[in-house]
Amino acid sequence: MPGQYDHIIHRFLAEQGGCVVCLSDDATFVRSLRNILTRLIGFRGEVLFPYVHAGRAMEKCLELRDRGVPCLAFVERMVEGRPSTDFLIRLKAEFPACLVVVLTWEATQETVAYFFELGVGRVLVKPASADRAIEEMAMTISPPGELKKQMERCDKLLRSGEFDEALEVTDRILVLNPDSARGLVMRGDALTGIGEADKAAQAYMAAHEARPIYMEPLIKLAAAFGGMDDEKALSYLERLDDISPLNPERKIDIAAQHLRQGDAEKAEAYLDRSVEVAEREHLSMVGDLTERIVDAVAPQAPNLAVKYLNRVIDTKRVLGRDDLVHFNRLGIILRGEGKWSEAVAVYGRALAIAPDDPVVHYNMGLAYWEGEERLRALKCFERALELDPKFYAGSVGAALNVGSLYLDLRQFDEAAPYLRHVLELDPDNQTAQKRLRDAEARVSVQRARRSREEREPGPGSGRESGGLDLDAMGGDSGLKRSGRRGSGSKGLDVDALAGDAAPAKGGKKKKGGKSYKFDF
């Protein structure tokens, strides 16, 4: 009834001091909306703020939030030639209390379901009559009174953990509306809270049957069975995906379930669709989504992690410092697969973006070290130290790596300070303790030898090596000459130095490697 709806809107504007923000390039709709507010509702104040650019509309909404002003936002499905998904996600994240109506020329079940997942209150299909627009506004602002009151009370009880009392309130909600899907979900939440998992699942299923397009029951069911019954959890996730296929993060969850079941082909198909949806609907979140994909698949399918990291890098028109995380992650995965030269190439691309980033130089050094290119690795480490002499500070792994490489290359004086720093951070680190003892012992031998040569100069004292004659040291040192050569270096075998010492915290031993490598 129009009169009833008019009253709800007028009260929102006059008594609550609410405002209306409209993000639309449809001049006809904006004109009709202004006419509704001023002539039909009869409100004369300045309450409508129309915008055609998403950035300006967001600024206005956040300004209203900061002033404590209630806001109703109309948002076009397409804004400036792209879906408004990013705008809606940010708006609901930064201004959860904002009421949202999406404007669209056509509404499929898939898009409507996803809008509701994003927190949209109503969807208004254009062209719409004035009466229809008024009704949608009123229903967004204020659902039916007593039912709303009971739901708000139940929600508060659930948040405070008062599950028994919340369960009693759901009885009253379901008396008012026996088919209330939201009421049934709340009942399921209350039953979950008191440990009645089976009855909770029944309530969620009843909610889904009462309103199949309502996503919350299936989300709750998938979460309830996750980790307990993967088959059931997967079936609910796939049903959710059928209803709302525009959610890219759910596709990652489905892919992860398929990977756990050993079906990499199905997992890859879902991941491909996830990235496609993100590129179409959520341009700003493609990078974060890729990181989620990598987290989900890297342990079981590193080849898929490499694929999606390369995809996000290759599809970006302009790469910047924010993308260094993708390059570093890709390099680490390639190194883990033994593809150190490919990792070096990846870090080289990263340095083209940020040549003065010490972390990239450091990680490139680790890749060279994996390939036994020790002198090149040292050059990278020392470049990182030039750019930031304290880049390793506070990191057990980085300090241990720098010290170990100097030790590997028989630069014992240089190794010691980094190994001491490891022990400042982790006094019980056995690897650092042993390597520091070795470094200090070699420094003592070198100094004693130089002192002896200064006192007793003789043939051979000016030998070109300038280093330590391992053969002359005899068996007491416990060292052996390294059987591995990296770029012609004559370094100590760090495996022989470390023995069976456990890695420092956070480290992992690489296959066939001589040392523990720690990434930033």
7 and 137 in a common domain: yes
- What lies within 8 Å, CB to CB, of 217 at 6+ separation is 181, 184, 185, 188, 204, 205, 207, 208
Task: Give the up-direction half-sphere exposure of residue 298: CA atoms within 13 A in the CB hemisphere.
Answer: 17
93 and 10 in a common domain: yes
**Helix, strand and coil percent figures for the chain, each rounded to 5:** 65, 5, 30
pLDDT number for residue 464? 41
149 and 63 in a common domain: no
Cα torsion 412, 413, 418, 423: sign: positive
Give a yes or no: residue 295 inside a domain: no
434/252 Cα distance (integer angstroms): 44
pLDDT number for residue 94? 92
Residue 481 DSSP code: B
Give a yes or no: residue 442 inside a domain: yes
Give a yes or no: residue 406 inside a domain: yes
Q: Residue 42 sits in which domain range?
A: 2-142
Q: Which long-range contacts (CB under 8 A, 24 or more apart) does 163-168 make?
A: 163/189, 163/190, 163/191, 163/193, 163/194, 164/190, 164/194, 166/190, 166/193, 167/191, 167/194
pLDDT number for residue 122? 87
111 and 15 in a common domain: yes
pLDDT number for residue 186? 92
Strands of the sheet with 19-23, listed across from one edge: 48-51, 19-23, 71-76, 99-104, 122-125
Give a yes or no: residue 265 inside a domain: no
Residue 492 DSSP code: B
Last residue of a domain, one of 142, 158, 181: 142
* Chain position carrying tokens 């001491």: 420
Q: Are 91 and 21 in contact (CB under 8 A)?
A: no
- Which CATH number characterizes residue 193's domain? 1.25.40.10
Give a yes or no: residue 39 inside a domain: yes
310/493 Cα distance (integer angstroms): 35
pLDDT number for residue 458? 57
Widest Cα–Cα separation across the chain: 112
**Total structural domains within the chain:** 3
pLDDT number for residue 476? 36
Give a yes or no: residue 430 inside a domain: yes
State which residues of the chain have pLDDT below 70.
Answer: 1-4, 143-145, 213, 226-228, 282-285, 287, 457-520
201 and 125 in a common domain: no
Instruction: Transcribe 196-216 into DSSP letters.
Output: -HHHHHHHHHHHHHH-TT--H
184/157 Cα distance (integer angstroms): 15
94 and 109 in a common domain: yes
Give a yes or no: residue 90 inside a domain: yes
Which pTM was predicted? 0.56
Query: Which amino acid, residue 16?
Result: Q
Give a yes or no: residue 317 inside a domain: no
pLDDT number for residue 518? 59
**DSSP run (H or E) holding 56:** helix 54-67
pLDDT number for residue 490? 30
* Chain position carrying tokens 């082909």: 265
